[in-house]
Amino acid sequence: MNKVYKAHIIYTRQADSFEVLENGYIGVNGKGCVTGVAADLASLGCEDAEVTDLGDCLLIPAMNDLHVHAPQYRNQGLAMDLELLPWLQNYTFPEEMKFANLSYAERMYRRFVHDLWRFGTMRSCVFATVHTESTRLLMDLFRDAGMGALVGKVAMNRNCPAGLQESVEDMVKGYEELLACSQSSRRKVSEADKVRPIITPRFIPSCTPEMLRACGELAGKYGLPVQSHLSENRDEIAWVRELEKESKCYGDAYDRYGLFGQTPTVMAHCVWTAGEELELIKRRDVMVAHCPTSNFNVASGMAPVRQFLDEGIHVGLGSDISGGHCLSIFKVMVYAIQVSKMHYQQNHKRPFLTLSEVFWMATKEAGSFFGRVGSFEPGYEFDALVIDDKDLNHDNYTVLERLERYIYLGDDRQITHRFCGGREITGIGNLGTSTE
Ligand code: GUN
Ligand code: FE
């Protein structure tokens, strides 16, 4: 059965401009895909469809988070006094160890999935922990919510506490278990591929060559996507150079093990990527997850995003909780613009990012990692947010000005409806209490 929604429709087909249709109509077919956007019902060809009139609200594509750590949710807004490597050892690894405990994991993961929903993020690329059971639980929470996620059981077998290390055999076994339950949970055909495992070597310092090789083989054998961290921090890069003497650059260390574009790959940060590594990213069509809040908080640096875009590299946005402190991708957009303005002040050669560019990165660009997601062009899955911004709207703002003000000033209170793959998503209950 076709559905039609009427609202002020805004989305991006390309980086440099918004598509805006005031009081427009959008058609969604029985498979949850957009059939078209039009100024009137007749030109949509859906005269007999049920029309939901959303009044004076904005209707925009839902947010996609290309890089986030679910088990770091308790640490959100904490522990910003160290750079990456000591930050991992002192704050992050001790918290991730707790996810051996399933009831702790359930309490934290419920809150995490609920808050992604609250802030309008319908698809995400998620790092879990090394623990298979709690990773499975996180996947089930996404499935129950009806939200899309690529979830990584994190591969680690060196340079971290024993409680976070796993043998290569157990890593492979764990992934095969997760794959088996992904397949058996294909309850509804349309939901089948929304939650899937993604191969997740944490980063080169956490994985021996044997572990990296096994990760690459798993990705190839099952056609699974890959996510990791790349060239985030200068001490990290120097360490990788020591560990992987034969690699031409950090990216090459992944490439040598089949973890760099052999299957769809997203690498977080790329703050210090240049030269050979930039060329390799381009050649292998590796996607970059730009995480500006994290790059500020753990003092990593400013990623050369304008250069990436100029070179045709695909860039999406990531919250990188808890290096980053904002789960809302709208806020991450604002930081992406601000960091690019700092970059511009230091180096006037390249213009700073615009609002349509960061919106496009968070919707259509990041969405491309999940399928036909992130736009309202025909054939795209209907992932959408309804924004009722009347409390921000005290003068005659244009529809685009309203979107800009929402991005800068709004939060979850203005999001009245969320859709993922055509279905309205109503959130996740039973959040428990902090004393549980
Ligand atoms: N590099 C390896 N692990 C991590 C992590 O958990 N967060 C960030 N920001 N970088 C990493
Ligand atoms: Fe990260």
CATH code for the domain of 29: 2.30.40.10
- Worst-scoring range by mean pLDDT, 39-48, 172-181, 295-304, 395-404? 39-48
Asked if residue 186 has pLDDT above 60, the reply is: no
Confidence bin at 429 (pLDDT 50/70/90):
confident
Structure tokens at 386: 């309804």
Asked if residue 185 has pLDDT above 70, the reply is: no
Q: What percentage of the chain carries pLDDT values higher than 90?
A: 91
Q: Which ligand is nearest to the CA of 201?
A: 1
Number of H helices, E strands in the chain: 16, 17
pLDDT at 433: 57
pLDDT at 49: 87
Ligand 2 centre distance from Cα of residue 269 (Å):
8
* Whether residue 82 is found in the same domain as residue 119: yes
HEC per residue, 359-401: HHHHHHHHHCCCCCCCCCCCCCECCEEEECCHHHCCCCCCHHH
* Whether residue 198 is found in the same domain as residue 306: yes
* Residue 266 CB–ligand 1 contact under 6 Å: no
Please report whether residue 431 resides in a domain. Answer: no
Nearest to 59 by CA among 93, 27, 94, 98: 27
* Residue 218 CB–ligand 1 contact under 6 Å: no
Range of the domain at 42: 3-62+374-426
* Residue 323 CB–ligand 1 contact under 6 Å: yes
Please report whether residue 434 resides in a domain. Answer: no
pLDDT at 301: 97
Q: Helix 102-118 to helix 132-145 angle, to the nearest 10 degrees?
A: 30
Structure tokens at 309: 């875009």
Which amino acid type is present at position 327? L
Asked if residue 195 has pLDDT above 50, the reply is: yes
pLDDT at 432: 66
pLDDT at 191: 55
* Residue 203 CB–ligand 1 contact under 6 Å: yes
pLDDT at 279: 98
Q: What is the mean pLDDT of residues 114-129?
A: 98
Ligand 2 centre distance from Cα of residue 84 (Å):
10
Q: What is the mean pLDDT of residues 2-12?
A: 97
* Residue 294 CB–ligand 1 contact under 6 Å: yes
* Whether residue 168 is found in the same domain as residue 283: yes
Ligand 1 centre distance from Cα of residue 326 (Å):
16
Structure tokens at 139: 């996947």
Please report whether residue 432 resides in a domain. Answer: no
* Whether residue 360 is found in the same domain as residue 348: yes
Which amino acid type is present at position 27? G
Site to probe by mutation for ligand 1, drawn from 65, 69, 90 as the one with most ligand atoms within 8 Å of Cβ, is 69
Confidence bin at 349 (pLDDT 50/70/90):
confident
| Of 370, 389, 405, the domain-final residue | 370
Asked if residue 187 has pLDDT above 80, the reply is: no
Confidence bin at 56 (pLDDT 50/70/90):
very high
pLDDT at 246: 96
Site to probe by mutation for ligand 1, drawn from 82, 154, 202, 250 as the one with most ligand atoms within 8 Å of Cβ, is 202
Ligand 1 centre distance from Cα of residue 277 (Å):
19
* Whether residue 43 is found in the same domain as residue 182: no
Asked if residue 119 has pLDDT above 70, the reply is: yes
* Whether residue 105 is found in the same domain as residue 54: no
Quick check: 137 and 177 in contact, CB under 8 A?
no
Ligand 1: atom nearest CA of 323 is 9
Q: Which ligand is nearest to the CA of 239?
A: 1
pLDDT at 288: 99
* Whether residue 160 is found in the same domain as residue 309: yes
Q: Which ligand is nearest to the CA of 206?
A: 1
Q: Which ligand is nearest to the CA of 267?
A: 2
* Whether residue 257 is found in the same domain as residue 383: no
Asked if residue 143 has pLDDT above 60, the reply is: yes
Please report whether residue 398 resides in a domain. Answer: yes
* Whether residue 223 is found in the same domain as residue 100: yes
* Residue 232 CB–ligand 1 contact under 6 Å: yes
Ligand 2 centre distance from Cα of residue 228 (Å):
8
Please report whether residue 226 resides in a domain. Answer: yes
* Residue 295 CB–ligand 1 contact under 6 Å: no
* Whether residue 360 is found in the same domain as residue 298: yes
Round the average pLDDT of the chain to a whole number and report it: 95
* Residue 333's CATH number: 3.20.20.140
Ligand 2 centre distance from Cα of residue 34 (Å):
32
Count up the domains in the chain and report the number: 2
* Residue 290 CB–ligand 1 contact under 6 Å: no
Question: What does pTM read for this prediction?
Answer: 0.97
Site to probe by mutation for ligand 1, drawn from 85, 92, 99, 234 as the one with most ligand atoms within 8 Å of Cβ, is 92
User: What are the phi and psi torsion angles at 430 (to 5°)?
Assistant: 50, 65
User: What are the phi and psi torsion angles at 13 (to 5°)?
Assistant: -90, -30
* Residue 320 CB–ligand 1 contact under 6 Å: yes
Please report whether residue 422 resides in a domain. Answer: yes
CA distance 269 to 304: 10
* Whether residue 347 is found in the same domain as residue 250: yes
The helix (run of H) or strand (run of E) holding residue 225 is: none
Compute the residue count for the chain: 436
Sign, CA dihedral 263-15-122-137, equals: positive
Can you list the pairs that 93-96 forms with residues at least 24 positions away whose Cβ atoms lie under 8 Å?
A: 93/160, 93/161, 93/164, 94/161, 95/71, 96/71, 96/72, 96/129, 96/130, 96/154, 96/164
Ligand 1: atom nearest CA of 232 is 10
Please report whether residue 435 resides in a domain. Answer: no
pLDDT at 253: 98
pLDDT digits 0-9 by tens, 94-110: 999 999 999 999 999 99
Asked if residue 188 has pLDDT above 70, the reply is: no
pLDDT at 431: 78
Confidence bin at 428 (pLDDT 50/70/90):
confident
Confidence bin at 436 (pLDDT 50/70/90):
very low
Strand locations in 63-120, DSSP E?
63-69
pLDDT digits 0-9 by tens, 248-262: 999 999 999 999 999
* Whether residue 166 is found in the same domain as residue 247: yes
Please report whether residue 300 resides in a domain. Answer: yes
